[in-house]
Every structure is written in C-alpha cells, then in structure tokens.
Amino acid sequence: MRRLALEAGDKIMEIYNSDSFEVKVKSDESPVTEADEAADALISAGLRAAFPDVLLVTEEQAESHSEKADTFLIVDPLDGTKEFVHRRGDFTVNIAYVENGVPTRGVVFAPARNRMFYTLADGAAVEETGALEKDQIGETKTIKVSDADNEALLVVASKSHRDQATDDYINKYSVADSKSAGSSLKFCLVATGEADIYPRVGRTMEWDTAAGHAVLHGAGGKVVRFDDHSPLAYGKDGYANPFFIAYSPSVVLKEA
C-alpha cells in the first residue's frame, strides 16, 4: 500500500507539474482530472494483484460503490482534487483497509508536501521522512496526538468546504489558533499533534476519510459522529459519511 501510494504520487506530480491538464466534472458536480484516473488505475491494479480476494472500493469506479463486504480496501487516488486543480498542494493519496467497520490500516501520502503517514502491523502510526524510496523504508517516527490545552486549542478545518456551520461549532471552544488544510491531511495534522481537533460539518465519503482515520487511530486519536459522538463506522450504504469530529481524546468535546 505504501509503495502504490508513492507510485501514484509520482504519476500525480508528473501531471501536476505539466503545463496544463484536463478537468472534467462528474455527475455530483465534483471535479476529476487525468491524475485521478491515472492514479486510480495504478493503485487498483496493484491492490487487486496483492489482495485478489478482498473487495476494492474506489472513488473513481462507481460500480464498486454498490458492493458490500465486512472486510474491504477503500481508495481515494487523489483526495483534494480542488487543491490539485488550483495547484495548492494540499492533496493526498488515500489507501485503507477496513475490518468489520473499522479502518485498521491506512496510508496517506501528500506528494506535493512530501509527507507520508501510515500504520504499522502493531497498530501504531508513523510519519516517514527523507527520500521516500519505493523499495526501502526510510527513517520513521512514531506519531502521537497532542495533550491538548482546552483553554487554547489548535483547530484545523477544511480549506475548500469551510462554512458558517463549521465556524459556529469551532466558536464553542477556546481556540488559540485555527488553520485550514485540504484533503485527509487534516487527520494527519491531528495525528501528529499539529492540531487538536478537526470538525467536519459537511459531506464526505468513506474513501475521503478511511486512511486518515486509520492513521489518527494509530496515533491515539478518535473519530466520532457529530450528532451523538458514537464512533464513525465504515461500510455504510453508499459509503457516505455523516458529519464527524476527529480529535485528540484530551479535547473535551462540545455538543453539536
């Protein structure tokens, strides 16, 4: 999964750094580029070869969205397409493995930021630094969520989807600093302690969140539903998420 994310990242950056690329609009009005499609083809082929008996759900293959299994792989080959189109850099490759509704393994790679996060076999989450060679794992550091100061919280929110409802919820907290980031990087910023809480009051799909969720969980964090603070589960009909909150458990959550 790590190697496929790196290979997909190379393909994405090749297109990102080109003079121009085609942007199409999908049926749900979201953009899709040739980078999404090229990364999807590469990752899908690699995962199907490595896990032939495991259901693969991927954003770019609509026929997979009606299939269900207790254990499945779920992929967003280019999360943050708007960031990609506007050349803002905050886009990621997301690959996750879900067991009985829980994302247990995940890889999040931000190729333009050269940041790579993933879970290990023992469940811990790490960030790999350095050259990020495909066939050789470099230096890794175990990441852990913050010990949050509830009088001075660090908040991260969506860059492309921030709205009044999000701001109203954030305003329930004592906030020292609030920043915006695109894609599943927000989960990773909470996982490393660079942020304490990421509330999402807006539409997401499971392929947007599963890999970041796994990384955050491996770093000691939690992801819960916005409405009742129960754990966010996976394998739902249509793979659509409710609103949610990703956070360090040291944050005292406010009611919606």
Dihedral sign, Cα of residue 21, residue 40, residue 5, residue 118: positive
- Was 80 annotated as part of a binding site? yes
- Rounded to the nearest 10 degrees, the angle between the axes of helix 2-16 and helix 34-50 is 160
Residue by residue, DSSP assigns the chain as -HHHHHHHHHHHHHHHTSS---EEE-TTS-EEEHHHHHHHHHHHHHHHHH-TTSEEEETT-GGGGG---SEEEEEEEEE-HHHHHTT-S--EEEEEEEETTEEEEEEEEETTTTEEEEE-TTS-EEEEESS--SSS--EEEE-------TTSEEEEEESSS--HHHHHHHTTS-EEEEEEE-TTHHHHHHHTTS-SEEEE-S-EEHHHHHHHHHHHHHTT-EEEETTT-PBP-SS-GGGEE--EEEE-TTS-PPP-
- Was 204 annotated as part of a binding site? no
- Was 78 annotated as part of a binding site? yes
User: β-strand 55-58 against 71-79: which pairing, if any?
Assistant: parallel
Dihedral sign, Cα of residue 243, residue 254, residue 188, residue 89: positive
CA distance 152 to 146: 12
- Was 79 annotated as part of a binding site? yes
Annotated binding site: which residue ranges? 59, 76, 78-81, 208
| Residue ranges of the binding site for Mg(2+) | 59, 76, 78-79, 208
Q: Indicate the annotated binding residues for substrate.
A: 59, 78-81, 208
